[in-house]
């Protein structure tokens, strides 16, 4: 049994934006380690396709339509996951979008949409899952996906950089109350690839394993362990 299996097998993953890209890769990889997987995505067809495949392969999975901008929907998703799959041992706030452009060129609506998904969406996930993890009393982790963009300066990627920096710094702030995880995250450790993003049609072409691999090489995660 691999170190990753020892750590994650038998647990429950709840992942946002798990219908495609990095989230899909994480969902599939978690299932391969023996986790039950709950996928929330604004694109229900994509989430259902992934969940159905995992079930056909002998795993436990469910898919729900959910917009991370909606706290009520996030809470309802969390309740359903706990009721149907058991205590969540890993929640990943993965759903996020990208927006290019200098700050002064970005349409106001686009700015708010990106902040609402990338920042408020993570806030909603933390707010919904951390108290439930604390109440459940079993070891649990929450990961908020940021990006190298969250710790770098990219003038033509301004909204994205601001949002990912917020997630990065905000997650670090949570460490005062939650115990920080130690060492490398193991969930995606053995997935090879280059982590290409799946924008438009091109997104569909990227194998999930490649996206999962992006976590090790290019993504910044904050791991906060609620119960050690």
Ligand X SMILES: NC(=O)c1ccc[n+]([C@@H]2O[C@H](COP(=O)([O-])OP(=O)(O)OC[C@H]3O[C@@H](n4cnc5c(N)ncnc54)[C@H](O)[C@@H]3O)[C@@H](O)[C@H]2O)c1
Q: How far is the CB of 22 from ligand X (least distance, A)?
A: 4
Q: How far is the CB of 67 from ligand X (least distance, A)?
A: 4
Residues 8 to 27 in contact with ligand X, rule: CB under 6 A = 16-17, 19-23
177 in contact with ligand X (CB under 6 A): no
From the list 38, 85, 90, 211, which residue makes contact with ligand X (rule: CB under 6 A)? 211
43 in contact with ligand X (CB under 6 A): yes
96 in contact with ligand X (CB under 6 A): yes
195 in contact with ligand X (CB under 6 A): yes
C-alpha–C-alpha distance, residues 22 and 37, integer Å = 14
94 in contact with ligand X (CB under 6 A): yes
Size of interface with ligand X, in residues (CB under 6 A): 30
Q: What is the DSSP string of the chain?
A: --HHHHHHTT-EEEEETTTSHHHHHHHHHHHHTT-EEEEEES-HHHHHHHHHHHHHTT--EEEEE--TT-HHHHHHHHHHHHHHH-S-SEEEE-------B-GGGS-HHHHHHHHIIIIIHHHHHHHHHHHHHHHHTS-EEEEEE--GGGGS--TTBHHHHHHHHHHHHHHHHGGGTSEEP-S---TTTT--S------HHHHHHS-HHHHHHHHHHT--EEEEEEE-
Beta-ladder partners of 84? none
Stretch that binds ligand X, among 4-12, 30-38, 41-49, 101-109 (CB under 6 A): 41-49
Q: Which residues contact 195 (CB under 8 A, 6 or more apart)?
A: 22, 210, 211, 213, 214, 215, 217, 218, 219
Residues 150 to 169 in contact with ligand X, rule: CB under 6 A = none
x/- letters, 52..81, toward ligand X (CB under 6 A)? --------------xxxx------------
**Longest pairwise C-alpha distance within the chain:** 52
145 in contact with ligand X (CB under 6 A): yes
Stretch that binds ligand X, among 6-14, 35-43, 84-92, 125-133 (CB under 6 A): 35-43
Catalytic residues: 160
51 in contact with ligand X (CB under 6 A): no
Q: How far is the CB of 127 from ligand X (least distance, A)?
A: 15
219 in contact with ligand X (CB under 6 A): yes
Which residues contact ligand X by CB under 6 A?
A: 16-17, 19-23, 41-43, 46, 66-69, 94-97, 117, 145, 147, 195, 197-198, 203, 211, 214, 218-219
């Amino acid at each position: 049994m691999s170190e990753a299996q020892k750590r994650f097998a038998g647990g429950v993953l709840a992942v946002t934006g798990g219908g495609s890209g990095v989230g899909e890769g994480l969902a599939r990889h978690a299932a391969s380690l023996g986790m039950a997987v709950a996928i929330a995505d604004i694109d229900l067809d994509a989430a259902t396709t992934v969940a159905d495949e995992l079930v056909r392969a002998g795993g436990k999975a469910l898919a729900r339509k959910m917009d991370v901008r909606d706290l009520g929907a996030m809470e309802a998703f969390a309740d359903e996951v706990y009721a149907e799959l058991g205590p969540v041992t890993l929640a990943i706030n993965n759903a996020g979008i990208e927006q290019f452009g200098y700050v002064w060129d970005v349409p106001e609506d686009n700015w708010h949409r990106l902040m609402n998904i990338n920042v408020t969406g993570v806030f909603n996930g933390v707010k919904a899952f951390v108290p439930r993890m604390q109440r459940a009393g079993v070891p649990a982790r929450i990961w908020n996906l940021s990006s190298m963009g969250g710790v770098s300066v990219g003038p033509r990627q301004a909204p994205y950089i601001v949002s990912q920096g917020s997630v990065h710094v905000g997650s670090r702030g949570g460490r005062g109350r939650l115990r920080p995880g130690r060492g490398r995250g193991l969930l995606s450790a053995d997935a090879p690839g280059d982590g290409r993003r799946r924008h438009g049609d091109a997104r569909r072409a990227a194998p999930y394993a490649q996206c999962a691999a992006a976590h090790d090489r290019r993504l910044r995660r904050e791991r906060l362990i609620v119960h050690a």
